[in-house]
Amino acid sequence: MNSDSSKKSPWAPPSSANGYKAVPVPLGDRLPPPLREAQKLPKKQRALEILRRLKLMYPEAPCSLDYESPVQLMVATILAAQCTDARVNLVTPALFERFPDVGAIAHSNISELEDLIRSTGFYRNKAKNIQAACQRLIAEFDGEMPSTIAELTTLPGVARKTANVVLAHIFDVHEGVTVDTHVKRISGLLGVTKQTDPVRIEQDLMKLLPRPDWENWSIRLVYHGRAICTARSPDCMRCDLLDICPGAIRLRKEAAKVAKAKANQSAKAKKEEAR
């Protein structure tokens, strides 16, 4: 049985998600306005300008998880908690071949399910939630994926973040902003939020961005976090947000401090050697 071909949803299988790699398109001379102007923009205008540029830099924005049905996206998103999308995409082909739809997952052997998803971490809990979510989909929703955040978050293992991903990519419904580790970190660097709690960050972003663009912001910051603004070493000099990003200034100051401390240390070591 494949009960995911929802008559209610406008969902169609993604054409370019599988294997999609984010490669930013350099903006070149399409890059207004000059540095000080951009820094002085009010927060909302700055957020809109950042969004505009992100859309130019990453014109395509498919979900980076591989899936072929709404329930597969839900499962992949649950697996992506505390795990990379790349790792999830390595695990799901075998998983979805063995258990392709909501019925198969609901009636799966839990040990077999656990084995198939083991490398994504927390596999016992994830397997229990995935199976229970599919059982509830059958019992309460006729095997179809519900299209509201209130209904989705009644499914075991489906919190606000997973629900936002499913709603945006399956139903084009925007109930919130998905805040993952990249969105949290880069939104802070870009100075559009001072919060550190994902729920509060989401509230800030919802106030600044137009509703249809909530997922556009999230998905493009995820791409940006992988391609340019990595956690380990943001490549600010290659970033088309450099002039509008207060975080770059902070990072530059921090890098200068580290370089100065290193120089002092080596000068001190040379002095001691000379004695």
Among all residues, which ones are annotated catalytic? 161, 180
Closest distance of CB 48 from ligand SF4, Å: 16
- CA of 236: how far to CAs of 42, 222, 248, in Å? 22, 16, 6
C-alpha span between 167 and 91 (Å, rounded):
23
Closest distance of CB 207 from ligand SF4, Å: 21
Closest distance of CB 205 from ligand SF4, Å: 15
Whether residue 201 contacts residue 187, with contact meaning beta carbons closer than 8 Å, is answered with yes
Opening angle at CA 84, ends 89 and 226, nearest 5: 105
Nearer to ligand SF4, 16 or 233 (CB): 233
- Total of chain residues touching ligand SF4, rule CB under 6 A: 15
Residues 21-40 binding ligand SF4 (CB under 6 A) are none
Tokens standing for residue 237: 């000099």
Closest distance of CB 236 from ligand SF4, Å: 3
Considering only residues 114, 148, 251, 255, which one is a binding residue for ligand SF4 as defined by CB under 6 A? 251
Nearer to ligand SF4, 150 or 237 (CB): 237
Cβ atoms within 10 Å of 101's Cβ, excluding its own: 19
Closest distance of CB 161 from ligand SF4, Å: 22
Of residues 149, 141, 147, the one with CA closest to residue 170: 147
Nearer to ligand SF4, 99 or 217 (CB): 217
**202: Cβ–Cβ under 8 A, 6 or more apart, which residues?**
160, 176, 177, 179
CA-only gyration radius of the chain, Å: 22
Nearer to ligand SF4, 8 or 40 (CB): 40
Per-residue string for binding with ligand SF4, 211-250, x by CB under 6 A? -----------------xx----xxx--x-xx--x-xx--
Residues 134-193 binding ligand SF4 (CB under 6 A) are 186, 189-190
Whether residue 91 contacts residue 57, with contact meaning beta carbons closer than 8 Å, is answered with no
Whether residue 176 contacts residue 160, with contact meaning beta carbons closer than 8 Å, is answered with yes
Whether residue 70 contacts residue 170, with contact meaning beta carbons closer than 8 Å, is answered with yes
Nearer to ligand SF4, 113 or 248 (CB): 248
Helix (H, G, I), strand (E, B) or coil at 226: helix
DSSP state of 26: P
Closest distance of CB 234 from ligand SF4, Å: 4
Residues 52-81 binding ligand SF4 (CB under 6 A) are none
Nearer to ligand SF4, 143 or 234 (CB): 234
- List interacting residues with ligand SF4 (CB under 6 A): 186, 189-190, 228-229, 234-236, 239, 241-242, 245, 247-248, 251
